[in-house]
Amino acid sequence: MAEYDLVVIGAGPGGYVSAIRASQLGLKTAIIDKQWLGGVCLNVGCIPSKALLKNAELAHTLRHRAKEFGISFDNLQLDFSAAVKRSRQVSNRLTKGVGFLMKKNNVDVFMGTAALKNKTTVTVTDADGKSQDLTAKNIIIATGSHSTPIPGVAIDGKKVVTYQEAILQENLPASAIVIGGGAIGLEFSTVWNSFGSQVTIVEMLPHIAPLEDEEISIELEKAFK
């Protein structure tokens, strides 16, 4: 049984930063994640979405404002699949960087599902079903969150998707309904629309971007319309 001063469950931004700092302060540290180093943010969240938004900005400029910049062309072709592949390259590069930081800071990495056996023991089960126990004086739970399904709507991963499936799909939808006008919904709406999709946003609150100042939400609505 491996013994640690600290075991961190979840290798997203909260988890891996905690693990690095703990190791730097002299604690023998391990980190566990069932899927990725870097968590949702680096792999299917904020990092690849920002890469796609950069592509979307260029696509929008070329489609609607090229003449302002003294650019003219015939038969503009936009390759959405290439944009998605670029976003994966950006994501993979940064994820490898997290792996490098784990090694550099002597943090042991375990890929698998974690379960608390008791207040000082974590059981890790890998993809092959093999389990091992890690003991720790301290345990940090940094497992993040997940999408809340809509009652009565089946997510099939193809036609009805969450952000995790959408960000990996290389086929541009001809049209899309985005349920939720928060940051994630607005990002996907911007990307798809910039590449030519017809997008409808559905938001139950009075304005999109409801967590922002109302003036910002109103100006965003004008821009989207």
pLDDT of residue 137: 97
Interval 115-120 mean pLDDT? 96
Q: Are strands 113-118 and 2-9 parallel, antiparallel or unpaired?
A: unpaired
Report the helix count and the strand count for the chain, using DSSP H and E.
7, 8
Q: Which domains does the chain have, with CATH numbers?
A: 1-146 (3.50.50.60), 172-220 (3.50.50.60)
C-alpha angle 189/193/196, rounded to 5°?
A: 150
| pLDDT above 80 (res 147) | no
Confidence band, pLDDT 50/70/90 cuts, at residue 145 = confident
> Range with the lowest mean pLDDT among 63-67, 120-124, 143-147?
143-147
Confidence band, pLDDT 50/70/90 cuts, at residue 149: confident
Give the other-Cβ count within 10 Å of 15's Cβ: 23
